[in-house]
């Protein structure tokens, strides 16, 4: 099969971790007989440096022509990087939000799994993690606060900033359907997160999710307030199967969920639209403090590449092979520094990529 992949290495640790994911994809190509064509695309700070803007129309066009996009991470140190001297709409993050919108990537899947081998890196008590956990966060990605109108202006002599949180029922319905569809392939439970005791947008969210649930009688639906969910994630993470939520709540809760799995360096993600096209990226940031040191954990990006094989190319066997290889390397005791624990062997970014490749064979 021919796989045309747009690659946005991005900023910070992005280039290092994407290089390892491409190494793994190349290995999959060799072992299973696929041809991989990469088109390098610029976005974020790397695009600002060349074009003065974080995302060009050309990048959007080339991304659309690809079957899928692999993305590292974007952004720099807000205190020291010149990118943050620019107005907010020209900063690296604006490029990421704009490409998600331009490609209509409304469904963001972030799986948080506690690997048996990584229990040592999990900050929770053993009695809580007993039996492990495996949840899928389904985050709405193109609506809500991050895309509402915003302004900063002087009102009655006082500097005042406003952000608006808007959702219509169509946007809620399409993400809810995705959440229930994926629950049908898992343990058939959806926990819908909102703040319906305060927000109108959450009350519409809850009502719409309940309507969608009627088409999925086999799925158990629970509603949970977002503040309670933040607590439940550390109190009893096993209760969750699919967490369905809006953009900002999903942004926050997915970072928390990743940490209870041991490290944000383990959390993959897929951003999908109505077609097979998707953008695949680790959920973590660009970590400028460790960029260039060769110590970043490439596993989240490698697992994102596995999601790409699964969702955009329907290559389930190949995706399974990558995921199994990751598990084997962890079982062998190899760790990057973020997931290091006593008695294990610490390796660097490139070695982790090599070890995972070595386990991919037919």
Kindly list the residues in this chain that would bind ligand IPM in the complex (CB under 6 A): 75, 93, 96-97, 251, 283
Say if CB 298 and CB 130 are below 8 A apart.
no
Cβ partners under 8 Å of residue 42, min gap 6: 8, 50, 51, 56, 59
Given strand 270-272, what is the order of strands in its sheet?
35-40, 2-10, 68-73, 278-280, 270-272, 107-113, 134-140, 242-245, 189-194, 220-225
Partner from ligand IPM, Mg ion, none contacting 96, C-beta within 5 to 8 A by type: ligand IPM
* φ and ψ of 332, to 5 deg: -70, -10
Q: Which of 101, 195, 328, 344 is catalytic?
A: 195
- Interacting stretch for Mg ion, rule CB under 5 A, among 203-211, 247-255, 260-268, 344-352? 247-255
Q: Pick between residue 251 and residue 281 the one whose CB is nearest to Mg ion.
A: 251
Query: Least distance (Å) from Mg ion to the CB of residue 239?
Result: 23
Query: Least distance (Å) from ligand IPM to the CB of residue 272?
Result: 14
Query: Least distance (Å) from Mg ion to the CB of residue 297?
Result: 16
For 341, how many CA atoms within 13 A lie in the half-sphere containing its CB? 13
List the end-to-end C-alpha distance of the chain, in Å, as a whole number.
Answer: 17
Q: Pick between residue 48 and residue 325 the one whose CB is nearest to ligand IPM.
A: 48
Query: Least distance (Å) from ligand IPM to the CB of residue 283?
Result: 6
Q: Is 227 a catalytic residue?
A: yes
Residues 250-269 that bind Mg ion (CB under 5 A): 251
Q: Which of 116, 200, 227, 332 is catalytic?
A: 227
Partner from ligand IPM, Mg ion, none contacting 171, C-beta within 5 to 8 A by type: none
Query: Least distance (Å) from ligand IPM to the CB of residue 97?
Result: 6
Query: Least distance (Å) from ligand IPM to the CB of residue 32?
Result: 30
Secondary structure of the chain: what % helix, strand, coil (to 5)? Answer: 50, 20, 30
Q: What angle do CA 203, 172, 181 make, to 5 degrees?
A: 120
Cβ partners under 8 Å of residue 156, min gap 6: none
Q: Which of 23, 98, 115, 146 is catalytic?
A: 146
Q: Pick between residue 107 and residue 347 the one whose CB is nearest to Mg ion.
A: 107
Q: Is 195 a catalytic residue?
A: yes
Q: Which of 194, 241, 251, 338 is catalytic?
A: 251
> Is residue 133 classed as helix, strand or coil in its secondary structure?
coil
> Is residue 12 classed as helix, strand or coil in its secondary structure?
coil
CA 218 to mean position of chain CA atoms = 27
Q: Pick between residue 171 and residue 251 the one whose CB is nearest to ligand IPM.
A: 251
Q: Which of 26, 163, 255, 354 is catalytic?
A: 255
Partner from Mg ion, ligand IPM, none contacting 93, C-beta within 5 to 8 A by type: ligand IPM
CA 29 to mean position of chain CA atoms = 24
- Interacting stretch for Mg ion, rule CB under 5 A, among 5-13, 25-33, 89-97, 244-252? 244-252
Q: Is residue 246 close enough to count as binding Mg ion by CB under 5 A?
A: no
Q: What CA–CA distances, in Å, run from 297 to 13, 124, 312?
A: 9, 21, 24
Partner from Mg ion, ligand IPM, none contacting 140, C-beta within 5 to 8 A by type: none
Q: Pick between residue 129 and residue 269 the one whose CB is nearest to ligand IPM.
A: 269
Q: Is 241 a catalytic residue?
A: no
Q: Is 116 a catalytic residue?
A: no
Q: What angle do CA 296, 304, 81 make, to 5 degrees?
A: 45
Residue 129 has a CB neighbour count (10 Å cut-off) of 20
Contact residues toward Mg ion (CB under 5 A) are: 251
Catalytic residue numbers? 146, 195, 227, 251, 255
């Amino acid at each position: 099969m021919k796989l045309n992949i747009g690659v946005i290495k991005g900023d910070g640790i992005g280039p290092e971790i994407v290089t390892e994911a491409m190494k793994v994809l190349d290995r999959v190509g060799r072992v299973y007989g696929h041809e991989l064509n990469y088109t390098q695309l610029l976005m974020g700070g790397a695009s600002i440096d060349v074009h003065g803007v974080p995302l060009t129309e050309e990048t959007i066009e080339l991304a659309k022509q690809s079957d899928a996009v692999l993305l590292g991470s974007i952004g720099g140190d807000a205190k020291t990087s010149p990118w943050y001297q620019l107005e907010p709409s020209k900063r690296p993050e604006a490029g990421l939000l704009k490409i998600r919108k331009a490609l209509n990537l409304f469904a963001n899947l972030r799986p948080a799994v506690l690997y048996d081998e990584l229990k040592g890196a999990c900050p929770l008590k053993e009695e809580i993690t007993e039996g492990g956990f495996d949840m899928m966060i389904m985050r709405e990605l193109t609506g809500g606060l991050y895309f509402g109108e915003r302004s900063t202006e002087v009102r009655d002599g006082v500097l005042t900033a406003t952000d608006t949180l808007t959702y219509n029922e169509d946007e809620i319905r399409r993400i809810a359907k995705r959440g229930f569809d994926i629950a049908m392939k898992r343990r058939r439970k959806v926990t819908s997160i909102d703040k319906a005791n305060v927000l109108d947008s959450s009350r519409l969210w809850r009502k719409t999710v309940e309507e969608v649930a009627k088409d999925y009688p086999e799925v158990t639906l629970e509603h949970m307030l977002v503040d309670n969910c933040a607590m439940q994630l550390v109190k009893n993470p096993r209760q969750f199967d699919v967490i369905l939520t809006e953009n900002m709540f999903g942004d926050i809760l997915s970072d928390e969920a990743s940490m209870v799995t041991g490290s944000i360096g383990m959390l993959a993600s897929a951003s999908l639209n109505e077609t097979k096209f998707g953008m695949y990226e680790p959920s973590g940031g660009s970590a400028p403090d460790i960029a260039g040191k060769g110590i970043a954990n490439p596993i989240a990006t490698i697992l994102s590449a596995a999601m790409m094989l699964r969702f955009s190319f329907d290559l389930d066997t190949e995706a399974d092979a990558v995921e199994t290889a990751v598990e084997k390397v962890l079982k062998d005791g190899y760790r990057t520094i973020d997931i290091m624990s006593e008695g294990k062997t610490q390796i660097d970014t490139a070695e982790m990529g090599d070890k995972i490749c070595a386990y991919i064979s037919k």
